Structure 1
Amino acid sequence: MRTALVYHEEMTAARLLWDDPECEIERPERLTAAVERLQQGGLEQRCLQLAAREASEAELGLVHRSDPPGATHHRGHRLGRASTQPAPVLKTELPTCLSFTTGWMGEGTVSPEYVSLLRGTQALSTEELQALSGQYDAVYFHPSTFHCARLAAGAALQLVDAVLTGTAHNGFALVRPPGHHSQRAAANGFCVFNNVAIAARYAQKQHGVCRCVGAAVGWGLRRTESGGVGCSETPCGALLCRGGLLAPRWEAQPLSGLCTPYPRILIVDWDVHHGQGIQYIFEDDPSVLYFSWHRYEHGRFWPYLRESDADAVGLGPGRGFTVNLPWNQVGMGNADYMAAFLHVLLPVAFEFDPELVLISAGFDSAIGDPEGGYHLESLSQCVCMVVKALLGDPAPPLLGPMVPQHSALESIQSVWAAQAPHWTSLWQQGSTPTLSLSTCSPERRPSAVSPGGPKGKAAEAQTSAVLSSLLDQLHLYTTPPVRTVIALTAPAAALVLPPEVLHQEGSAPPEETQAWARLHEALTQDTAFTALGKVLHLLNGILDGQVSSGIVTTPVAAPTLEVVLRQGLSHGAQRVFCVALGQLDRPPDLANDGRTLWLNIRGKEAAALSTFHVSVPLSGTTGGFLSCILALVLPLAYGFQPDLVLVALGPAHGLQDPQAALLAALLRGPAGGRVLVLVEQESTCQLVGVLARVLHGEPPPSLGPFSMASPDDLQALVHLRGQLEAQWEMLQLLLECHELVA
């Protein structure tokens, strides 16, 4: 895929000009270190490189405007710490107000006071800059701040343009300063202009977002790793993904009986700090769905806001379009975040069906970063990981035990309780929990620990060692030189594939093929024998680390699948996750030793025949299919942590092409991209083509309009999860209500 990379070296110009342990961590090296790492890894060269432009003041005014009459003025610890110094007198005149009307986008005017204030910082002395900075919380100004902030916002807009005009499929903008804490007329948390909010409004007004796109932007403020102690910020990355797993429909569809006059945009904020600035801007707007997971600790973590809790769901017509997932305990790991993805974010996102996805990509919850996006090695590694994903490279498998913490489950269920009245997809999670709100007042907060102090230095040394250990493990995982291979038993002139997808001509040695063919007489037939040789050759390439994924067509799926499964286990795979669709039964003599997890979709009934043998019917609705994948298939897959994923589309598998594509795309994650798909030879070229494209990293097509799962499907899924949750921790999300309110 064509990936844009937007950056400008002049964004490194602003720096702290006085001593301030709280602010010294926001430094130009955050960008230069990331760029150097991208260059060293050959990633910059693989991208379409674009130089950032400045956002115009009119474009800034899409968000940074005066509130309309009667608007709510937010209270609390937002605008900044108290200062005994008078604000400086600026030597600039205020421009004429530019008015505009935007409906749900809000009625207001460009805020000349705020934009002019920032423009005036270019002419201030160091003493005046320090005095002005003291009026805000965790902010410092430099004579170059205004220029850098306009470049940061402009980089996001340029990336929007590149994706929405088809110049790029997706992209990443490395920007500074960040933006998600910035409010309409107030800098906050190192954020000057709200880059992601400006990008959202720009996309709605300039482009109408009337095509399949996804997007993302990142920034933040101070942090610890969803776990450490200290304060800091996140890096400013901005990424846009055209299509993605949430590829939208072209036609407008009402949501819960409400049809918005503007294109639907999803903003995902994965910073460790709550992006209160984005929330305030869109909290009454049903055209923008804002999701944030963040460290909260019952209101005792910055920014100390009551409205960062799960029951803050938006205002007026925007109720249900703010989704906060507050972490109340430090040290959240892979299993906790994966549970949040599968049981909150993705169900709601698929139901919302956005036309654009913006991600505020803060890396301050990464392992090894005690300062929130300011540990240069951790930051640069995170940036590289995201760019690789945008380029379509398979992500390395998740490390460590996949067991969600009790506190994480409490937070997820609090979100369910707050959001279930607004989202059908959350009714289908099989739980009706009682809302558990924070009993601690945000006012009773601890003093912030400065990363520059002794405790911050000690935490940095400790977590640097953790990061080093993690990187050593990740270096053991190498990306195969060939991403996707397709092996056909007959020519397919109508098959359209990306040029990088290889057509396999070779086969396994005849003696190897003959030895395996003896297991089933059907495999000795000419076409089946040829297909078997091809699949064995491809499987060996995957297991030897030369190929990441592949597709093979075969006239006899069941015996071929059994051979592939046995060959994989004998050739070095420790755990194989097999997803069999259609009339494909588990081999009766397959050992139940924990090395194979067999899941049959389109089984006659939902049944856990053993811990490692599960059968579930195929739902006929979009909601039922998504519930099965998100609430059963993927929790099992990530909990099993396989070396290899096998997907077999057998006779009467019943999947539509978009469903098969989505399943294959999502199953790239658990095994680090090592996925082998077996397809019945009678399948269409269109199905084979779409599977090859998603395994190569392209987005799957849309599932179409969201429809609720049937009561029978939901009951079967809940019953099956109940049978399995004692053995599979990733399914253990249904806490008793008394545990939540205890």
Structure 2
Amino acid sequence: MGTALVYHEDMMATRLLWDDPECKIESPERLAAALGCLRQCGLEQRCLHVAAREASEAELSLVHSPEYVDLVRRTQTLGTEELQALSGQYDAVYFHPSTFHCARLAAGAALQLVDAVLTGTAHNGLALVRPPGHHSQRAAANGFCVFNNVAIAAEHAKRKHGLCRILVVDWDIHHGQGIQYIFEDDPSVLYFSWHRYEHGRFWPFLPESDADTVGQGQGRGFTINLPWNQVGMTNADYLAAFLHVLLPVAFEFDPELVLVSAGFDSVVGDPEGQMQATPECFAHLTQLLQVLAGGRVCAVLEGGYHLESLAQSVCMTVRALLGDPTPALSGPMAPCQSALESIQNVRGAQAPHWKSLQQQDVSPGLGPSIHFPEERPLLLLPGNPVYKAEPLPRLLLDQKHHYSVPPVRMAVALTAPHSTSALPPDVLCQQSAPKWETEAWAKSHESLAQDETLTALGKFLYLLSRVLDGQVSSGVASTLASAVAATLDVAIWQGLSRGAERVLCVVLGQLDRPLDLADDGRILWLNIGGKEAAIFSMYHVSMPLPRTTGGFLSCILGVVLPMAYGFRPDLVLVALGPDHGLQAPQAALLAAMLRAPAGGRVLALLEESAPQLAQALAQGLCGEAPPSLGPFSTASRVDLQALMGLRAQLQWRWEMVRVAAPEPTRGAPCSRSLERPETSAPPGNFPAAAPALPPSASVNDR
């Protein structure tokens, strides 16, 4: 199985035949630019090519009325004036004699992709289509959209393949009200959309695009709207929305398929969105979605009207689907005030329906270091109605030419022969660092002096060197239980000496932090399952390992990943020490999710007596979808209190941990510093008080 790429060049046939400034941006060049970039970057050749087919009228009728399908069919014989008159009856729509053919191909491409993924022909994929679909309604075209491609694909997956839980993620910058209307009372489809809203002053100007619209009847809680009330949202804002809203609910929902309404008008440079997220952000978002539904992710193109940013964003999405490491994110990793207010509002609206949001709440409160540096004000559209797209930075334009993928995605260096039996032979690393180098690093650790531990250290150092020099993306290594702590210590200093500026250590179990590690911003030590929940300094945090699925996810999504993204590590070291308590599905999920913040540079170290965990870590680092964690269960009161207390204190230094805007400055303009936050502030600068645990509320059983 691989990544399917579905398209048909006939979809470039339809184009605007008269003067219409609003509609002219939806042009055939959009598809040509995306395809050209995929070919130039060698990505099309790596995909499984699937030709689009026309959707049948019966398939279109899964979500559209027969009368509407008949109306679109009749456009094939209309002249230009008749087409223009008909188009004028709809909002931001144009028809062409080829519209019916192209729109059927677009819907059929989405169906082909879903069939390929659900039958096992492909693991995931992208359908490059036009016209787009997410605004189209049962009996009306709308917003360039004729047939609702993603909605048709979702209904098809339910009826033909028997799926009961489908997640639709709409990251287009416009609200996909068509999808929302079609499934608003259907609990089998969870619809998530973020969109430019500006308190109802941005198209399509609908009150039902706001956060308080959550669905109807049995579908209450299955519509999630996250409205952006300012322009200028960045990578940090988009990631915060995923970590603190979408992913907690998605894990609780446990989808069997993820459909993405992949609109790229939410990227920097696009005149419709006026946002500042960069193309590589969509590689991160895609990789985060791949931990759901066994990795069955089907992306379908929607909007995107800046040809260069559209093309590069499509390439980044395909790279992530192929399993390539994600490139580093640019810009400060701190959500802005307006984004935090939106996140806070949607969490409040959805909390009655989802246990996962109830157990993550952190009251904003007061604390030291409340600041939103005032260097880049982001303008509201009203009062600035004329928008001129700024030229994209040269770095962005050249990015596709500088992006490289390590020749080896993942390698393992395991000491016990039986540990390798379940792994493919091409990932085994048999080489070792030179003996003199190994002995030099082992001198300061008595536990590394034995022949067996020296052999394991030599393999580990060789593997670490290959990761640091870009020949291997990630790796798994083992050693004797008594040597895990010493080997990790060597790895930290080897990483720093070989050019890594920031090393993230995620330690599971009872492994003490080396005493000689300074709090100088180079090393972030996160101990999960340590002796206590404590913040020893801003770079040394200990937290419990919750035993429930909900508690584990709260730990990873609410603390570990936000801190990792805020820290921006060059290298992630994962170590499993004594009494780590990690199960294989948890290990695979942790490894898979830690790939993103460090561009795939993750090296896991564990005891040689844990072959199942070694296999799970290797699979996660290879990009394989982790197995399900099992039925969702909330964190225990003790674990929840500990995590909430940690997050309440950490949010003042690690801004990606925040889920709410600080009260004293609510309503202030959304602004950020363009510089990376200072990392040399004194340790321990946190508020002492933690919020009380909120009382439990009624929750709909899922």
Q: TM-score range by the shorter chain?
A: 0.7 to 0.9
Q: CA contact under 8 A between 1:576 and 1:596: conserved in structure 2?
A: yes
Mapped to 1, the partners of 2:269 and 2:183 lie a distance apart of: 33
Cα drift, residue 283 of structure 1: 0.6
1:432 Cα deviation (Å)? Answer: 6.5
Would you say 1:384 and 2:309 are equivalent positions?
A: no
Alignment of 1:61-210 (within 5 A): 61-64=61-64, 111-209=65-163
1:700 corresponds in structure 2 to: 626
- Does the residue aligned with 2:405 lie in a helix, a strand or coil? coil
| Alignment CA distance shift 1:281-1:740 (3 Å) | farther
Tell me, yes or no, if the aligned pair for 1:417 and 1:432 is still in contact at 8 Å: no
State the AA in 1 paired with 2:98.
S
- Could you tell me which of 572, 580, 587 is aligned with 1:660? 587
CA displacement at 1:692 relative to structure 2:
1.3
Q: In the alignment, is residue 268 of structure 1 matched against residue 152 of structure 2? A: no
Once residues 12 and 424 of structure 2 are traced to their aligned partners in structure 1, the CA distance between those partners, rounded to angstroms, is: 38
The DSSP-based 3-state class of the residue aligned with 1:619 is: coil
CA distance in 1, matches of 2:384, 2:21: 11
TM-score (norm 1): 0.81
| 2:306 paired residue number | 375
Tell me which residue corresponds to 1:292: 193
**Which of the numbers 583, 587, 599 marks the counterpart of 2:526?**
599
1:56 correspondence with 2:56: yes
Structure 2 residue 221 is the aligned partner of structure 1 residue 320? yes
Is the 2:362–2:647 Cα contact (8 Å) retained in structure 1?
no
What amino acid sits opposite 2:321 in the alignment? L
Out of 495, 499, 505, the position equivalent to 1:578 is 505
Alpha-carbon contact 1:414-1:433 (below 8 Å) kept: no
How much does 1:23 deviate?
0.9
The correspondence for 2:645, drawn from 719, 730, 735, is: 719
Kindly, what percent of the aligned residue pairs are identical? 72
1:191-236: CA deviation from partner (whole Å, max 9, x where unpaired): 0000000000000000113xxxxxxxxxxxxxxxxxxxxxxxxxxx
Which residue of structure 2 aligns with residue 484 of structure 1?
A: 410
Match of 2:333 in 1: 402
| Contact 1:417-1:433 within 8 A present in 2 as well | no
Q: Which runs of 5+ in 1 are unaligned?
A: 65-110, 210-262, 435-443, 450-454
Structure 2 counterpart SS, 1:400: coil
Equivalent AA in structure 1 for residue 466 of structure 2: G
Contact 2:500 2:571 in 1 (8 A): yes
**In structure 1, C-alpha distance between the alignment counterparts of 2:236 and 2:382, rounded to whole Å:** 28
The answer to whether residue 440 in structure 2 is matched with residue 527 in structure 1 is no
SS of the residue corresponding to residue 297 of structure 1 reads coil
Q: How far apart are residue 445 of structure 1 and its match? A: 9.6
Quick one: distance in 1 between partners of 2:473 and 2:266? 29
Determine if contact 2:338/2:667 at 8 Å carries over to the other structure: no
Distance 1:540 1:431 in 2: 41
CA-CA distance at 1:447 after TM superposition: 11
CA distance in 2, matches of 1:445, 1:338: 23
Give 2:656's match in structure 1, choosing from 730, 734, 742: 730
Amino acid at match of 1:145: T
The superposition leaves residues 158-210 of structure 1 with CA deviations (integer Å, 9 ceiling, x where unpaired) of: 1111111111111111011100000000000000000000000000000113x
Q: Calculate the aligned-residue CA RMSD, in Å.
A: 1.9
Counterparts of 2:551 and 2:419, CA distance in 1: 35
For structure 2, the residue ranges without an aligned partner over 5 or more in a row are 274-303, 366-379, 669-702
Find the residue that maps to 1:492 and give its secondary structure: helix
Distance 1:350 1:281 in 2: 23
Q: In structure 2, do the counterparts of structure 1 residues 207 and 732 end up closer, same or farther at CA, with 3 Å as the change threshold?
A: closer
Counterpart contact for 1:283–1:315, Cα < 8 Å: yes
Judge conservation of contact 1:396–1:474 (CA < 8 Å) in 2: no
1:571-611: CA deviation from partner (whole Å, max 9, x where unpaired): 11000000010121100111221100001011111100011
- 2:414–2:420 contact (8 Å) kept in structure 1: no
What SS does the aligned partner of 1:421 have? helix
The amino acid across from 1:55 in the alignment is A
Q: Distance in 2 between matches of 1:17 and 1:421?
A: 49
Aligned residue for 1:16?
16
Letter in 2 for 1:378: S
Matched, 1:510 2:435: yes
| Corresponding letter in the other structure for 1:17 | L
Secondary structure, counterpart of 2:573 in structure 1: strand
Rounded to whole Å, the distance in 2 between the matches of 1:416 and 1:741 is 18
Provide the residue aligned with 2:700 in structure 1: none
C-alpha displacement at 1:736, in angstroms? 5.0
Q: Which residue of 1 aligns with 2:352?
A: 421
Q: Which residue of 2 aligns with 1:100?
A: none
Check whether the contact 2:477–2:604 (CA below 8 A) recurs between aligned residues: yes
Counterpart residue identity of residue 730, structure 1: M
Task: Give the aligned residue type for 2:341.
Answer: E
Which residue pairs with 2:544 in the alignment? 617
Cα deviation, residue 126, structure 1: 0.6
Q: Answer yes or no: is the 8 Å Cα contact 1:179–1:193 preserved in 2.
A: yes
The separation in 2 between residues aligned to 1:682 and 1:356, in whole angstroms, is 35
1:362 counterpart = 2:316 = no
Instruction: Spell out the pairing of 1:494-509 with structure 2 (5 A cutoff).
Output: 495-498=421-424, 501-509=426-434
For residues 356-395 of structure 1, give each alpha carbon's deviation from its aligned partner in whole angstroms, at most 9, with x where no partner exists: 1111111111112224612111111111111110110011
Query: Which residue identity does 1:683 align to in structure 2?
Result: A
Specify the code of the residue in structure 2 equivalent to 1:339: A
Instruction: Identify which of 448, 455, 473 aligns with 1:548.
Output: 473
TM-score for the superposition, normalised by structure 2: 0.86
| Deviation (angstroms), 1:738 | 7.2
Supply the distance in 2 between the matched residues of 1:708 and 1:679 (Cα, whole angstroms). Answer: 28
1:330 equivalent in structure 2:
231
Q: Which moved more, 1:547-556 or 1:189-198?
A: 547-556
CA–CA distance in structure 2, aligned partners of residues 26 and 702 of structure 1: 40
